[in-house]
């Protein structure tokens, strides 16, 4: 069954988690509800997510802003029309040039339909997106959470999320991913919302400005 959150259910899911977990309740009490971070389920969103891989949000947004200034709304055809040099001036690394083109090509050739994909299960979406070079579990998790608003993702590939979990739960610095997943089990089927609460704590404590 596909389960999604929306503006009508998001805060009630936060409240359900708060009743289950004192640490999450404490974050909401101190910082308020997290924003409902969402993005449209389109190609442009996946390009931004690729840019966000393994860099700071500020770096990713700088690259995305430069790209938008150059080509406007980001489409597969526009990406495929850019030269390597033009993409490098938009701060794309050599690898990310390849990833963006592979994704654009998959959509242009109808190998991938984001519209059809939006009706699939989380696991079906993961299998299809990971066929594209440069798209791994973290990118899929972020797309499922923010673009498709699926409720039960916990992306342990996200450093900010992991650091926030360790901080909030007072965990050992070298705790294993398996043990962190065991902690997150208690938050099913709302692990996405728990992740957003933890991100909210991380952002608020560090005074980070989010642009999107």
The pLDDT assigned to 210 comes to 67
Which pTM does this prediction carry?
Answer: 0.94
Kindly state whether residues 53 and 125 are assigned to the same domain: yes
Kindly state whether residues 47 and 140 are assigned to the same domain: yes
The pLDDT assigned to 211 comes to 58
- Which three-class secondary structure string do you get for the chain? CCCECCCCCHHHHHHHHHHHCHHHHHHHHHHCCCCCCCCCCCHHHHHHHHHHCCCCHHHHHHHHHHHHHHHCCCCHHHHHHCCHHHHHHCCCCHHHHHHHHHHHHHHHCCCCCHHHHCCCCHHHHHHHHCCCCCCCHHHHHHHHHHHCCECCCCCCCCHHHHHHHHHHHCCCCCCCHHHHHHHHHCCCCCHHHHHHHHHHHHHHHHCCCCCC
Kindly state whether residues 138 and 166 are assigned to the same domain: no
Task: Name the average pLDDT for the chain.
Answer: 96
pLDDT in tens, 124-181: 999 999 999 999 999 999 999 999 999 999 999 999 999 999 999 999 999 999 999 9
pLDDT in tens, 95-109: 999 999 999 999 999
Kindly state whether residues 184 and 120 are assigned to the same domain: no
The pLDDT assigned to 208 comes to 75
Task: Supply the range of the domain harboring residue 163.
Answer: 10-37+153-204
Give the domain CATH number at 178: 1.10.1670
Kindly state whether residues 138 and 91 are assigned to the same domain: yes
Question: Is 1 inside a domain boundary?
Answer: no
Kindly state whether residues 69 and 158 are assigned to the same domain: no
Kindly state whether residues 183 and 102 are assigned to the same domain: no
| Residues 6 or more apart whose Cβ sits within 8 Å of residue 13 | 5, 151, 190, 193
**Which of 66, 7, 49 lies closest to 155, judged by CA?**
49
Kindly state whether residues 134 and 50 are assigned to the same domain: yes
Kindly state whether residues 74 and 121 are assigned to the same domain: yes
Kindly state whether residues 140 and 85 are assigned to the same domain: yes
């Amino acid at each position: 069954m596909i389960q999604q959150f929306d503006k009508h259910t998001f805060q009630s899911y936060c409240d359900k988690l708060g009743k289950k977990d004192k640490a999450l309740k404490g974050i909401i009490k101190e910082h308020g509800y997290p924003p409902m971070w969402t993005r449209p389920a389109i190609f442009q969103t996946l390009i931004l997510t690729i840019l966000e891989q393994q860099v700071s949000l500020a770096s990713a947004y700088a690259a995305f802003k430069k790209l938008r200034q150059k080509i406007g709304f980001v489409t597969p055809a526009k990406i495929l029309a850019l030269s390597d040099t033009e993409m490098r001036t938009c701060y794309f690394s050599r690898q990310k040039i390849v990833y963006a083109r592979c994704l654009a090509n998959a959509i242009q050739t109808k190998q991938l339909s984001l519209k059809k994909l939006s009706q699939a299960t989380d696991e079906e979406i993961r299998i299809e997106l990971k066929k594209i070079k440069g798209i791994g579990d973290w990118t899929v998790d972020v797309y499922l959470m923010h673009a498709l608003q699926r409720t039960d993702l916990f992306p342990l590939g996200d450093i900010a999320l992991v650091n926030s979990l360790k901080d909030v739960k007072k965990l050992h610095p070298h705790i294993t991913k398996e043990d962190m997943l065991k902690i997150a089990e208690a938050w099913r089927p709302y692990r996405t919302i728990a992740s957003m609460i933890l991100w909210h704590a991380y952002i608020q404590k560090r005074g980070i400005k989010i642009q999107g």
